[in-house]
A and B are shown apart, each in its own frame.
Chain A
Amino acid sequence: MTAFIIRRLLYTVPIVFGVLLLTFVLFTLLGGDISYQIAGRDADAETIAEIRREYGLDKPLFVGLKPLDADDWQQAADEALFDQAEAALLEQRQRDGRVARPAEPFEIEQEAKDIWLAELFRQRLGDFQLGRAAAMLDFDSQFRNHFTSALTFDFGYDLNRERITDRIRWGLGPSLALTIPIFLGTLVISISLALIVAFVRGSAWDVLLVIICVTGMSIPYLSFIIFGQYFFAYELDWFPIFFVPDRSIWVSVALPVLIGIAAGLGVSLRFYRTVMLDEMRSDYVRTAFAKGLVTRTVLFKHVLKNAMVPIITNVVLSIPYLVLGSLLLERFFGIPGLGDMMIQAIASRDFLVLNAITFMMSLLIVIFTLLTDICYAWVDPRVSLE
């Protein structure tokens, strides 16, 4: 088993690297330049440049070029290469149909520097000065930052300059206060009901429950929330309508938990019913009843135990998602959790936050998938981990 676990842990390395690469490419290419968003509508180019520096956006994406030493740089300045580069830049802008406004000096400087360095790099490659060319490569890049920040769990700052790790820490508790009761409630109720309907399968009760489940599955989650909030909190006044400051979090999550359970029960019950039915049709169940075992023993000791493999798969793989909270419930009930943080990040296109959460989720999924495999061996002697 140890070898299996080590092997699986090693598999996580390329998976995590792949996730990081994918998120970087997606968020960098599709995300737009966040510096404009942070700087505001009429910000000057200088402020935007400072923000780009602050967030490391002035660095190359993967690999850049750096001057070898100050002499090279001085040489370029002496030879007025900057002016040439600036002229080339303006020409390039005109060709692109962009506004050929006079560029700010600091803005040009970076681009001029890039153009000049690229030219120098090309020259050195052309002259087979491979060592000198290689020494020009600068790996202090946006991707390296992305990679190291993920591996050190220091995700830096969001668009509002709030530390992302702090935000995750603040949001975790409220999210779990909401999702763990929903998860456990749904699990207990759906497995219990599944056992019963599997036991009375084909009866009108079974049909009725299936109809209720399908109906529940067909109703959008949002409808459960809107109706639940309006009816139970506003009309009946049984629960607070919204998060209550200065009171225990449990007061505020009671209604969202009930709504979450009600909304998720249909899918869950249908799944567990199928699992239980598969088991109830097995020979060993008939044998157990034939031997005269009481129903409780057959259901809980034999059927439930043998149904554990699919149950464990479903349960353990659901656990990472508990961390994420519930996007809509948190938003409608003002629960300051990670779901609300996610939806906020999506709305404001805060890819720094989304990236952090995506990475953490991928890591949790990898870990819990491994745990699932280990649990298989634990509950089912037929499974061995090799």
Chain B
Amino acid sequence: MSIIKRHFGKARSLHPSRSGAAVRGLTVVWLAALAALLSGCEWRVAGPDHEEQVIRLALATKIQTLDAGNMRDVYGMMVAGGNIYETLYGYHYLKRPYEIIPVLAADMPTISDDKLTYTIPIRRDVYFQDDPCFPDGNGRKLTAHDFVYAIKRVANVKYRSVNWPPYSNRIVGLNAFRDYTRQFEDEWAVDYSYDVEGLQALDDYTLQITLVRPWPQLVESVLADTATSPMPREAVDYYRGNIRNRPVGTGPFRLKNWRRGSYLELVRNENWRGQTYPSEGGPGDAEAGLLDDAGKPIPFADRVIFRIIEEDQPRWLLFMRGELDMSGIPKDNFEEALGAAGQDLTDTMRQRDINLETFVDPSTFWMGFNLRDPVLGPNKPLRKAISRAIDRQALIDLLFNGRFEIAHGFISKGLNSYDPDIIDYGFSRYDPAEARELLEEAEAIHGGPIGPLRLGMPGTDNFARQYGQFLQKYLSRVGLRLEVDYMDWPTYLSEMNNGHLQMFSSGVSASSPDGISFLGMFGTKYFAPGGNKFFYSNPEYDELLEQAEVMFDSPERTELYRKMEKMVMADYPAVFTSHRVSYALLHGWYRNYKPHVFSYDVLKYRRVDLEQRNRYNDLLRELRNRQ
């Protein structure tokens, strides 16, 4: 004690009596600096969003482009799809099963008897948003020529659109147009007057598409896809490369601000033709209050603000503070939101009037096998042994908070052709004992012990490593050694597409309710760099795929899809692990929310109860006082 008193009681100064003035002077400087910084505390002023209908959302990553023709990332679609851009067709917001409805089309298409020609009437009351790209700055009327231009633009090889692959060899003359564009130096030099036989504007308000062969998914997969949104030629010519930052569309909102890497702000498009909230919905919608706004004019929101927040903590804190209307649940906050059991909302959430929505997001994840690999390709027992060795439920519990579902097949739940009975076939059964038996059989085929297997894992982050280590652990339990190559994305893609990976971790999400894109992943004609990264080849399957691809929705087609799924599953081209289940937390004031997994055209239906939102800070204060 005396030591402490001695040291704290008297500083060993060279000149103690005069040091006080210097210290006081310095203290004043610090306090002044601190006061200047703390002036930032006066930040919470009543902004316009207290009186306006403003939807406030977060994006977990930066937007790459807002150019419809080259947009494929989910977050870009969330901002622009259905909000800035519109498509010919879309999905009904409330009805389930999902129902296709005309958006920019005046009606559903007239399809010729041979299913090859689609004649589509275009609405006559649609205008592009006002923009300097137009001669007088006023948005002009939409015509069928804009759709022709949009699709040709995607086909232009010099435009390098990521959305081209589905169009290849589908529309009469479109591939020839693509070949024709090769001769030009850049995308703007291409002459779009080149005639594409299968893509014609019969007049200003009639579009005709002629197909090479029937394409049953044309409407729901392509004409409802943002990539085919009409794009005014004037805008592309005016903004050129900058068009990616200057979207010009026909949707209910237009882009007002885009501060790169920080936030985007959409405001109402004054030229939008107007629409009313649907008065019909699915079962339970009326009870859930989803029809309370039936018949009211939309959009409800005056503005939409997307804040780009890449870290979980600030996103979660902003949501809990009431500065975001909805949020996912970060892994580290899962227990805070849903308790240890992960089943129901905690009191913390309920007291804040936060609601939970869960829904299957049609997607499938797997550890794929390269069937051209000399070890895995000819050795089905080995592939099956690997499948039996992985405990998928443990994987889901450990890495996804138990949120995902086991994939018993590769056609995901939520798709029309999902087979609820596929679980009975036990393709994804965890059975280490059987795995060991199969391994003996595999070694006999291989002619000796199986050497280390190699898995290409996209990503070098913690999650990728945890995933890799999990798989290594389970395979080692049955006597297999797995080496994991953690790769950056371009290397991974290049290696996978060139068939250099023995095994690879991957997954896919559905963009429409039809499961054909999942089935296409196993067609010989879709070998990588197409969708078939497994190099799976089965002539019988290919034959069925040819049939399935031209069949329109019917019970027969569903049966065929299911048969094909089982055919592939029985060959074990991959360890199919999981289907994603999404969890969304919503503040009570965020109204008319109904999950829609195939459409981004949703924000115009959403509404904010301003009174409830503006009371939230009082609620937080009250909760704090109670503690």
State the A residues within 8 Å of B (CB). 31-48, 50-51, 54, 98-99, 101, 160-162, 167, 170-171, 181, 185, 188-189, 192-193, 195-196, 199-207, 226, 229-230, 233-234, 237-247, 250-255, 257-258, 280, 285, 289, 294-296, 298-300, 331-334, 336, 340-341, 344, 348-349
Contact = CB atoms under 8 A, between A and B. Distances in A.
A40 B262 contact: no
A33 B313 contact: no
A147 B2 CA distance: 68
A285 B44 CA distance: 51
B494 A238 contact: no
B493 A37 contact: yes
Contact of B261 (A50, A185, A340): A340
B515 to A, nearest CB: 17
27 contacts: A32-B488, A36-B493, A42-B165, A46-B157, A48-B529, A99-B372, A185-B33, A192-B30, A199-B13, A200-B19, A204-B7, A204-B11, A229-B313, A230-B317, A239-B41, A241-B318, A241-B323, A252-B40, A295-B18, A295-B21, A296-B21, A299-B22, A331-B310, A332-B314, A334-B309, A336-B261, A349-B489
Give the secondary structure class of A's interface.
helix
A243 B317 CA distance: 13
B22 A195 contact: yes
Nearest to B49: A246
A47 B22 contact: no
B14 A289 contact: yes
Interface stretch (B108-116, B497-505, B570-578): B497-505
A226 B313 contact: yes
Contacts of B498: 98-99
A258 B493 contact: no
A195 B321 CA distance: 42
Contacts of A38: 160
Name, among B8, B12, B47, B265, the residue most crowded by chain A CB atoms within 10 Å (CB to CB).
B12
B314 A50 contact: no
A339 to B, nearest CB: 11
Contacts of A41: 493
The 10 closest A-B pairs by CB, nearest first: A254-B40, A204-B7, A32-B491, A37-B490, A200-B11, A295-B18, A40-B162, A32-B490, A99-B499, A336-B262
B1 interface: no
Contact of A341 (B29, B259, B261): B261
A51 B186 CA distance: 12
Contacts of A230: 313, 317
A264 to B, nearest CB: 14
Nearest to B179: A46
Contacts of A98: 498-500
B39 interface: yes
Give the secondary structure class of B's interface.
mixed
Interface in B473-504: 487-491, 493-494, 497-500
B330 interface: no
Contacts of A331: 310-311
A215 to B, nearest CB: 18
Nearest to B42: A251
B200 interface: no
A245 B263 contact: yes
A180 to B, nearest CB: 13
B189 interface: no
Contact of A334 (B160, B161, B164, B314): B314
A161 to B, nearest CB: 6
B260 interface: yes
Contacts of B260: 162, 167, 170, 336
B8 A204 contact: yes
Contacts of A285: 14
Nearest to A337: B261
Nearest to A54: B160
A258 B308 CA distance: 23
A298 B489 CA distance: 60
Contacts of B164: 43-44, 47
Contacts of A295: 14-15, 18-19, 21-22
Name, among B40, B310, B491, the residue most crowded by chain A CB atoms within 10 Å (CB to CB).
B40
A239 B22 contact: no
Given A161-B65, A247-B43, 17 more contacts: A33-B494, A36-B489, A39-B160, A40-B162, A42-B530, A43-B165, A50-B158, A101-B527, A203-B7, A234-B317, A244-B43, A245-B257, A245-B262, A295-B15, A296-B25, A331-B310, A332-B313
Contacts of A44: 164-165, 168, 529-530
B26 interface: yes
Contacts of B160: 38-39, 47, 50-51, 54
Given A43-B529, A257-B37, A332-B311, A229 B43 contact: no
Interface in B513-531: 527, 529-531
B64 interface: yes
A148 B44 CA distance: 48
Contacts of A229: 313-314, 317
B265 A245 contact: yes
B11 A245 contact: no
A31 to B, nearest CB: 8
Contacts of B62: 344
Contacts of A298: 15
A279 to B, nearest CB: 13
Contacts of B317: 229-230, 233-234, 241-242
Contacts of B499: 98-99
A201 B43 CA distance: 41
Contacts of B161: 47
Interface in B229-250: 241, 244
A238 B7 CA distance: 36
A98 B501 CA distance: 10
A333 to B, nearest CB: 7
Interface in B149-165: 157-158, 160-162, 164-165
B308 A334 contact: yes
A336 B259 contact: yes
Interface string B63-104: 011000000100000000000000000000000000000000
B305 interface: yes
Contacts of A101: 527
B46 interface: no
A251 to B, nearest CB: 5
B23 interface: yes
Given A47-B160, A192-B26, A242 B314 contact: yes
Given A42-B530, A101-B527, A296-B21, A47 B157 contact: yes
Contacts of B259: 245, 336
Interface in B258-273: 259-263, 265
Contacts of A45: 529
Contacts of A255: 40
Interface in B297-325: 305, 307-311, 313-314, 317-318, 320-321, 323
Given A45-B529, A161-B241, A245-B262, A296 B22 contact: yes
B46 to A, nearest CB: 13
Contacts of B22: 195-196, 199, 295-296, 299-300
A162 B67 CA distance: 13
Contact of B12 (A42, A201, A296): A201
Interface in B122-168: 157-158, 160-162, 164-165, 168
B262 A160 contact: no
Given A98-B500, A161-B65, A334-B262, A39 B162 contact: yes
Contacts of B21: 295-296
Contacts of A35: 490
B271 to A, nearest CB: 24
Nearest to A250: B40
Nearest to A246: B47
B341 interface: no
A189 B27 CA distance: 9
Contact of B14 (A199, A250, A300): A199
A240 B309 CA distance: 14
